[in-house]
Structure 1
Amino acid sequence: TVRELWVIIKPSLSSGEKENLIREASKVSTTLVVEPEDIELTRARSDRMDASRGGEPDILIVETIEDLVRAKEDGRITCFTLTVKNRGDEEAITEASESSADYVMVRFKDWKVIPLENLIAKIHGKSKLLTVASDVEESRLALETLEIGTDGIVVDIPDIEEINRIYEVMRRVKTRPAEIEEAERIELKTAEVVELKPIGSGARVCIDTCDLMREGEGLLVGCQSSGLFLVEAEVHKTPFVAPRPFRVNAGPVALYTLTPGGKTKYLSELKAGDEVLIVDREGRSRTATICRVKIEWRPLLLIEADCDGRRIKTIVQNAETIRLMTEAGSRSVKELSKGDKVLVRLEEEGGRHFGTLVKEEKVIEV
């Protein structure tokens, strides 16, 4: 189920401000929360669903169990709303869900994380749980809690730029299995290894994330932003080193890596708190936060490969634990030979300006 974005149109706004917010918010939202007297204005300016405490809205907002039961008897789509201040409020929300509320909209007064975890555990799959948020950080927290998150965000500010930022976060957060499976996939191709050359020591980067990667997952890195190799996380048991599934031994500081939003960054730019893009061999991707970036001087190996008539390159630490992804699995760089096939991402055209693709720009990287 797609997560929903609701936007509150506050009655304190002027008529012009309401019209502008309705028009702009309708581009990214699923539902507009309005006062009864603004339902007509909303329907004249938007094709989105409307929710209100009175009148004849698409979704009727109620504040008591009694009103909820009556509305359901009348066949209405309902949203039960409550500010969570204590355990009693949690119990009231659970009761509303058990009384067949279609939606539950919650605000949190002081404690936020633990009450939200409790509610997700109790009502997920019964009613759609929405949390009121006023910025990106609150929204992300709600969407990622317990790896399930809320079913939507209700934005309580009239700032269209922040609303758009929250929308982008909602598009990028993929914590539920269905979201990961249905996400737009990165096209990966096979490239043939044509050159392997030890090149001495250099500053290589290990990216330690706040996540645990599985076999077949890693980061896309490369010497050229237009040609990135899929390097697997350290997920395999070896005779001498324990698995470190949070880590990708990515390569030298000057390599590019693909990050959320389709941008690239140099490995040297990454730091704790930044986001990277975890990719699997099927092209499925998800976002992870960096815990630590560790730079050490190690022997390096240059790898060159051909794909669609183009030569692309990457450099990795010359050690058994670094593995490049293949269609069937992965292979240690110490076992790679000329003619082997590895997975890469190839960009068809354009160059990068501070990490952003500019299709019309001509850039040569060798």
Structure 2
Amino acid sequence: MTRSVWLKADSAVGNWEKRKKRITAGIEAGVDWVLVDDTDVERVRDLGDVNIAAFRSGGDADRLEEHSQQDVSSDAVIVGKNGEGDGSVSLPEDFSGSADISALRRSDDAANGAYIRILDENYEAFAEEAAKTADHTIVIGEDWQIIPLENLIARIGEETELVAGVTTAKEAQTAYETLEIGADAVLLDTDDPSEIHKTVEVRDELERETLDLTWAEVTSVERAGSADRVCVDTGKLLDHDEGMLVGSMSRGLFFVHAETADSPYVASRPFRVNAGAVHAYVRTPGGETKYLSELESGDEVQIVNRNGKTREAVVGRAKIEQRPMFRIEAEVETEDGTDRIETLLQNAETIKVPTPDDRKAVTDLSAGDEILVYYEQTARHFGEAIDEKIIEK
């Protein structure tokens, strides 16, 4: 499931300067959506690139006509504010027949999202009905938050994007994890930039894979002549225990550390992984792979630490140069015995791989050393795992 963060920035937040400050903080933090009044859509477009949901209060034909062009430019039109959704207008009596999004739309056919404050069980039922036709269903808990959210998660399923109202990153974590399924998104209502950043971090952490890394025994390290090798320079600084997964065989990828360590001869380059020859695979987000030769500025690669925790980084540059190489071969214990994997890495002291004690330069590796790898018994076709037998030598 892909999670998202919405940021509330409508007139209830305050004047435009206050709203602008909140929206700017959200865009800088990386929120996915901002929720504003329809009159602010073009202003938000001027602030940055973000999805915009616009509240439609409805009922004022002249006002709707006046701002119709602005509404068209929003990515979603949300109704319910100053209407049935927030209690300003009484709920329909027949929930089973009329309490879908059409009741929230009134005369507004452009609406594709509903905003509902869960004031009591009737509003919970109303949200459930609205979700049947709404692309986005935003629910704001009042005195009770967890129980109504659990009920809606259990009943709505995949009919809509369920967006839960929160005020802190801690509440966002709870909303994402409720019933082990969680809300699809959260609507964050805060002016605190640090809380916005924390909420985005919660979203990112939930999206990331945690990989089961394993130890492999080096069986051979030999000079392999020159080859075109690729340094992957990312737009992020990597931590000391981070690197990338690369290898000649898709089923067995070697953990190669970023160049975070200083040496007497070369300054550290903590944005760089000297990843090996152009033919090798590198793991990318979502469990896919790319050839190193394919990487270019703007692509994403997967960063991993020794505990298997992953994150994403954008490629700033892929630097290809001819360099002397080592061919490194290792054996991995599998359910069927052992399997051989290998890769080519540059013959240089700055390229390091994890060992049980710390790390070793590839120039110091020898048969019998243990190094960290990611192994999966699967084949690849255009970077995607497939159920097919492929022989790699």
- Per the TM superposition, whether the score is higher than 0.5 is yes
Residue in 2 aligned with 1:279? 304
Secondary structure at 1:185's aligned position in 2? Answer: coil
Letter matched to residue 211 of structure 2 = I
**1:38, CA displacement in angstroms?**
8.9
Q: Percent identity?
A: 40
Q: Match for 1:250 among 259, 262, 275? A: 275
1:195 pairs with 220, 230, 254, which one?
A: 220
Task: From 33, 37, 43, give the equivalent of 2:128.
Answer: 43
- The alignment's C-alpha RMSD in Å is 4.1
How many residues of Structure 1 are paired with residues of Structure 2 in the alignment?
252
1:363 aligns with 2:355: no
Unaligned runs of 5+ in 1: 20-30, 53-57, 61-71, 78-101, 105-122, 129-138, 140-144, 153-168
2:383 is matched by which residue type in structure 1? G
Distance 1:215 1:208 in 2: 15
The 3-state SS of whatever aligns with 2:363 is coil
Alignment of 1:218-297 (within 5 A): 218-297=243-322
Cα distance per residue 1:47-70 (max 9 Å; x no partner) = 99x977xxxxx527xxxxxxxxxx
In structure 2, distance between residues paired with 1:342 and 1:148 = 39
Q: Distance in 1 between matches of 2:390 and 2:227?
A: 26
Amino acid at match of 1:197: E
Residue identity in the other structure for 2:255: L
The answer (yes or no) to whether the contact 1:9–1:18 under 8 Å persists in 2 is no
CA change 1:39–1:353 in 2 (3 A) is same
Deviation at 1:275, TM superposition (A): 0.7
What residue number does 1:33 align with? 115
Check whether the contact 1:216–1:330 (CA below 8 A) recurs between aligned residues.
no
Q: Cα offset for 1:149?
A: 2.5
2:87 matched to 1:59?
A: no
Which whole-Å deviations, capped at 9, do the CAs of 1:284-332 have from their partners, x for residues lacking one? 1111111111000000110000001000001000111111112332100
Q: Is the 8 A contact 1:220 1:229 kept in 2?
A: yes
- Contact 2:169–2:202 at 8 Å: present in 1 too? no
User: How big is the shift at 1:251?
Assistant: 0.5
**How far off its partner does 1:340 sit?**
0.3
Maintained 8 Å contact 2:228/2:320: yes
Q: Where does structure 2 lack aligned partners over 5 or more consecutive residues? A: 7-52, 54-75, 81-97, 103-112, 146-164, 174-186, 188-192
In the alignment, the residues of structure 2 paired with residue 147 and residue 271 of structure 1 have an alpha-carbon distance, to the nearest angstrom, of: 34
Note the C-alpha offset of 1:16.
Answer: 12
Q: Displacement of 1:45 after TM fit?
A: 6.5
CA distance in 2, matches of 1:325, 1:147: 35
CA contact (8 A) 2:114 2:130 kept: no
Deviations 1:332-360 (A, max 9, x none): 001001000000011123x111111113x
Cα deviation, 1:110-138, whole Å, max 9, x if unaligned, reads xxxxxxxxxxxxx878999xxxxxxxxxx
Distance 1:126 1:353, change over 3 A: closer
Task: Identify the residue that residue 197 of structure 2 maps to in structure 1.
Answer: 149
- Scaled by the length of structure 2, what TM-score is found? 0.55
Match for 1:188: what amino acid?
A: L
Answer yes or no: is the 8 Å Cα contact 2:246–2:281 preserved in 1. yes
> Hey, what does 1:337 align to over in structure 2?
366
CA distance in 2, matches of 1:11, 1:355: 42
Three-state SS of the structure 2 residue aligned to 1:297 is strand
Cα distance change of structure 1 residues 18 and 124 upon mapping to structure 2, 3 Å threshold: closer
- Offset, 1:232: 0.4
Q: 2:340 aligns with which of 311, 323, 347?
A: 311
Using the TM superposition, give the Cα deviation of residue 18 of structure 1 relative to its aligned residue in structure 2, in angstroms.
5.0
Distance 1:353 1:146, change over 3 A: farther
CA distance in 2, matches of 1:343, 1:259: 18
Q: Is the 8 A contact 1:9 1:34 kept in 2?
A: no
| Equivalent pair of 1:4/1:151 in contact (CA under 8 Å) | no
8 Å CA contact retained: 1:200, 1:299: yes
Report how far residue 10 of structure 1 moved: 3.5
For residue 352 of structure 1, the aligned residue among 350, 373, 380 is: 380
User: C-alpha displacement at 1:215, in angstroms?
Assistant: 1.4
Normalising by structure 1, what TM-score? Answer: 0.59
3-state SS in 1 of match to 2:286: helix
Counterpart secondary structure, 1:43 = helix
Partner of 1:307, secondary structure, is strand
Q: In the alignment, what sits opposite 1:136? A: none
Query: Hey, what's the Cα distance between the residues in 1 that align with 2:268 and 2:301?
Result: 20
Alpha-carbon contact 1:227-1:344 (below 8 Å) kept: yes
Q: 1:334 to 1:268 in 2, by over 3 A?
A: same
Q: Secondary structure at the match of 1:303?
A: strand
AA matched with 1:343: L
- Contact (CA 8 Å) 1:219, 1:279: kept in 2 or not? yes
